[in-house]
């Protein structure tokens, strides 16, 4: 695979590399990780049966590549719980604008818990068309994302 570079907007900047976990659907944080909130689980395997891209896949420590999050405001609390337990994705990469659910949880975790999950948005639809689960991804603090 040839390396391809995308430029987005750094919301929570930083430098990191890792393996992509990709959903081309809106990502329901609550449906994906409900057991973390309700049962105190530390498993980050996606349990959202409606997400055919990620269902049953391990998402902890991955670079999550999605269009946006969907669902309820409890998603923000769930992101903070995951940050406190240090079990969430390494980075959140959005093809579209970051949505208010994700922004709330990720910003509060960064400010209140001193746990930064690197976050880039506005990477574009071409980004999600190109990247696949398992691809190596490198994220730079200026919002540049390298795939491959």
pLDDT of the residue at 35: 83
* Residues lower than pLDDT 70 in the chain: none
pLDDT of the residue at 19: 99
- The tokens for 78 are 């769930």
**What's the predicted TM-score (pTM) here?**
0.95
pLDDT of the residue at 69: 95
Residue-range domains of the chain with CATH: 4-147 (3.50.30.10)
pLDDT of the residue at 71: 85
Q: Name the nearest CA neighbour of 104 among 12, 6, 25, 5.
A: 12
- The tokens for 30 are 């609550």
Cα–Cα distance between 129 and 125 in angstroms, integer?
6
């Amino acid at each position: 695979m040839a390396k391809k570079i995308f430029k987005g907007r750094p919301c929570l900047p930083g430098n990191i590399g890792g393996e992509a976990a990709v959903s081309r659907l809106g990502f329901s944080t609550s449906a994906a990780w409900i057991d973390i909130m309700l049962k105190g689980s530390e498993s980050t395997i996606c349990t959202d049966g409606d997400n055919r891209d990620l269902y049953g896949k391990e998402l902890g420590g991955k670079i999550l590549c999605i269009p946006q999050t969907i669902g309820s405001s409890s998603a923000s609390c769930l992101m903070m719980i995951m940050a406190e337990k240090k079990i969430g994705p390494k980075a959140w990469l959005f093809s579209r604008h970051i949505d208010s659910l994700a922004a709330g949880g990720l910003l509060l975790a960064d400010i209140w818990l001193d746990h930064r999950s690197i976050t880039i948005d506005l990477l574009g639809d071409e980004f999600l068309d190109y990247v696949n689960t398992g691809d190596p991804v490198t994220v730079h603090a200026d919002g540049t994302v390298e795939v491959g």
